[in-house]
Structure 1
Amino acid sequence: MQNRVKENYTISGSFVFFLIGVSQTPGIVLNFQSLALRDAGQDAWISIILMGLSLHFIIWMIYKMLGYPAKDVIDVHRTIFGNFIGNTVSLLLVGYYFILALFVFRNYIEIIQVWVFPTLKTWVVGGVLICIIYYAVSGGFRILTGYSFFGVLAPTVLIFALYFPIRQGNLNNLLPVFNHSFLDLLKASKSSSFIFFGIETLLIYFPFLKLPEKNVKWAHFALLFTTFKHTSVIIVTLMYFSQGLLKHSLWPTLGMTKIIELSFIERFEYLFIFMWLTVIIPAICIPIWCCTRIMKRVAKLKPRLSLPFLLAILFIAALMFNERIKIDAFEKFLIEMGFYFIFVYIPFLFIIYVIRAKIGLKRK
């Protein structure tokens, strides 16, 4: 049966700009520059553009597959695989979205511990964040959309902080341009692809968008906007750092903010980190909400029961990643899983759905 969402729970289709924008922003504070540099060197910024452009086809597929009338990926699974297998596949997505949330959650805790409070225990920071996440997700999807608005606005203001490293940067670090093969650029795109993860949450909240077929442009605008932000950050990073130093820098973006000194604040990176919480919270909450939504639709488990359970697992899982080597391994696993989910599974699902739809029309 197709999923129906009550009118008072839906949002304007244009708000997908903020939902996608906030989901793809947290990666700016991570080490995506270093990962892209390994394969593409000073041409790493080109690989970011290639990744951003390729995702426009994925957005097109999602809107074509889920539109007319609006439905979510759970309905698609049931249509293609039948109710039992379709529900089983949908439940597997709970694990995927949970891992997305865990990745952002654990990395932000590590940033707090390394940059601000080195002696603070993981369970303390995690406990505070869990309380905030519970409050946000329990408010419902419309509340998360409101948080997403501020999650896009805050980093847009902070992006002007790039002016300071640009002043000390060297444009020659970007030369020579196009000095790497197309295969190297594709490898770099894959290595840094996690900064674009989050777009796949659209598969779940799609029915909550009003007139999505008339507002698809806002999804493309959001992708263009995040591609511009990521490209700007990596270009400034390449100008500021030498390639040798950048390879050994864990958080290059935060490293650049350390040089900013204003008359009213000396440690600007502290302000940057805590303002980034406005990005981190919705970026974690949206995948967690997707988990509760799937469990409600498939297992008939209400969010007030599934949410505390999921957050308890999130808290415990974060404590298990207590070493940098474990976090690195987790990051590599996520990159592989997310890349194939977006660029293999979604196109596969789209093709099968289109073929099945055409067969159904012929039978009529």
Structure 2
Amino acid sequence: MKKHGLNQITFMQFIFIIQGCQVGTGVFSLPRELALKAGTDGWITLILGYFLNLIASIIIVKVLEKYPDDTIFDLLIRLFGKFVGKAMALPIIFYFAFFTWTILSLTMLFIKHWFLQITPDYIVVCLIIAPGFLIVGKGLHVLGRYSELVFYMTIWMFFLLLFSLKDARWIHLLPIIKEGWKPIFDGVESSVFSFLGFEIVLVLYPFLKTKHLAVRGIVIANSITFFVYLGVTLICFAYFSPDGITDYNQPLFNLLKMIEFHFLERFDMIFLALYLFVISTAWLPYMFGAAFGANFLFGTKNAAPFGTVLLLSFVVLTVFLHPSWNETGQWTEFISKVGIWFVYVCPIFLYLYIRIYNRFQRSDS
């Protein structure tokens, strides 16, 4: 029996877990962030970020395929020993946990702003995490099925944005590269952050049934995310004026308000309510990664107690901190900088270290 046989995921589940991690709350503000850095040439910045993330994704897979049954936590102990390996695992667990906390805080603020204005923060957080815990507690194979189901249920939502194109002005995108390449390169950091989520492969890889398709899967996941982001960005750039788009913190929300149907008055409210399912696929894999890492760190067989403690700690933090939009913005900026180091520097370091490690092992034998 395989080491991770009970929790194995299919190729399609592998794709949709990664893609779900990438497309979360950031899509609402991404057009504005790109416009601030690169103007209406921000879509070019997005293309550059896409290719950079593809390279980083493939490097991560190449690192893991050397030891296909090891998660990142197993690999660290194999390469650096038990004590150092567990010490190096702590920042990774913290990264997954803090990413979960940031997305949950943003989700709570969205729900309070649009639906439950007078409901206490901690009640909203409890409503979010209760069904999420039931999914994560059942194991990765259930999480994979959930991510795949949510993708099929909600992919049609992005095609509805095409209704706004009747009022679009594509001339807003011209001329291309109007201010040179420097602003475009300056915005690469924002586009790179928007693709964060593929690092969950560090935990998913040993559970994948068809590991020889891992590179193909991560390319497909990144490509789906890229086309969603590119479509949303181009539509927002064409709808809003080049200067006007920066006046909105979340241009996609303002765009949704303009879409009307004869049989539906507040389409934006329906869209956001359904989009909460998409957001859940962003934080649930990170939650699983943090609980799985804690389970590995303490050498236990059941990750559910660690997941319970982690989720309860989020509720307690909400009671005492009462997260605001400004605070969550600061946390997002912090975790984005950490994430860029985590997905670019660490895999390259591990890849080079493994090559040296294997060479020394062969020379010793």
Identity %: 22
Match of 2:65 among 57, 64, 67: 67
Work out whether residues 25 and 279 of structure 2, in 8 Å CA contact, stay in contact via their aligned partners in 1: no
1:202-237 alpha-carbon deviations (Å, 9 max, x no partner): 101211001312342122111111111101111111
Aligned to 2:14: 16
Give aligned pairs, total: 361
Aligned to 1:262: 261
Aligned to 1:51: 49
Structure 2 CA distance for partners of 1:6 and 1:336, relative to 1, 3 Å: closer
Segment of structure 1 superposing worse, 53-62 or 74-83: 74-83
Aligned to 1:240: 239
Aligned to 1:349: 350
1:1-27 alpha-carbon deviations (Å, 9 max, x no partner): xxx634232122342111111111114
Work out whether residues 260 and 266 of structure 1, in 8 Å CA contact, stay in contact via their aligned partners in 2: no
Cα distance in 2, alignment partners of residues 252 and 121 from structure 1: 27
Tell me the amino acid that sits aligned with residue 303 of structure 2: P
Structure 2 CA distance for partners of 1:145 and 1:291, relative to 1, 3 Å: same
Segment of structure 1 superposing worse, 136-145 or 298-307: 298-307
Aligned to 2:332: 331
Q: Where do residues 256-295 of structure 1 align in structure 2 (5 Å cutoff)? A: 256-295=255-294
Work out whether residues 164 and 259 of structure 1, in 8 Å CA contact, stay in contact via their aligned partners in 2: no
Work out whether residues 47 and 189 of structure 1, in 8 Å CA contact, stay in contact via their aligned partners in 2: yes
> Given the two structures, how large is their TM-score scaled by the length of structure 1?
0.93
Cα distance in 1, alignment partners of residues 4 and 76 from structure 2: 22
Tell me the amino acid that sits aligned with residue 5 of structure 1: K
Structure 2 CA distance for partners of 1:222 and 1:69, relative to 1, 3 Å: same
Structure 2 CA distance for partners of 1:98 and 1:180, relative to 1, 3 Å: farther
Secondary structure of 1:11 counterpart:
coil
Report the Cα offset of residue 28 of structure 1.
4.9
> Given the two structures, how large is their TM-score scaled by the length of structure 2?
0.93
* 1:360 partnered with 2:358: no
* 1:312 partnered with 2:322: no
* 1:129 partnered with 2:128: yes
Aligned to 1:25: 23
Q: Could you list the runs of 5+ residues in structure 2 that have no partner in the other structure?
A: none
Work out whether residues 97 and 288 of structure 1, in 8 Å CA contact, stay in contact via their aligned partners in 2: yes
Work out whether residues 151 and 279 of structure 1, in 8 Å CA contact, stay in contact via their aligned partners in 2: yes
Structure 2 CA distance for partners of 1:203 and 1:178, relative to 1, 3 Å: same
1:323-363 alpha-carbon deviations (Å, 9 max, x no partner): 22212211211221111211222222222222222332333
Cα distance in 2, alignment partners of residues 113 and 192 from structure 1: 28
Work out whether residues 65 and 354 of structure 1, in 8 Å CA contact, stay in contact via their aligned partners in 2: no
Aligned to 2:323: 322
Cα distance in 1, alignment partners of residues 53 and 192 from structure 2: 10
Aligned to 2:35: 37
Report the Cα offset of residue 201 of structure 1.
0.9
Cα distance in 1, alignment partners of residues 226 and 244 from structure 2: 25
Work out whether residues 133 and 284 of structure 1, in 8 Å CA contact, stay in contact via their aligned partners in 2: no
Q: Could you list the runs of 5+ residues in structure 1 that have no partner in the other structure?
A: none
Structure 2 CA distance for partners of 1:208 and 1:111, relative to 1, 3 Å: same
Work out whether residues 109 and 324 of structure 2, in 8 Å CA contact, stay in contact via their aligned partners in 1: no
Q: Where do residues 170-189 of structure 1 align in structure 2 (5 Å cutoff)? A: 170-189=169-188
Q: Where do residues 91-240 of structure 1 align in structure 2 (5 Å cutoff)? A: 91-240=90-239
Secondary structure of 2:175 counterpart:
coil
Cα distance in 1, alignment partners of residues 271 and 305 from structure 2: 35
Cα distance in 2, alignment partners of residues 350 and 135 from structure 1: 36
Cα distance in 1, alignment partners of residues 363 and 178 from structure 2: 51
Cα distance in 2, alignment partners of residues 178 and 279 from structure 1: 33
Work out whether residues 27 and 195 of structure 1, in 8 Å CA contact, stay in contact via their aligned partners in 2: no
Segment of structure 1 superposing worse, 36-45 or 353-362: 353-362
Cα distance in 2, alignment partners of residues 352 and 187 from structure 1: 31
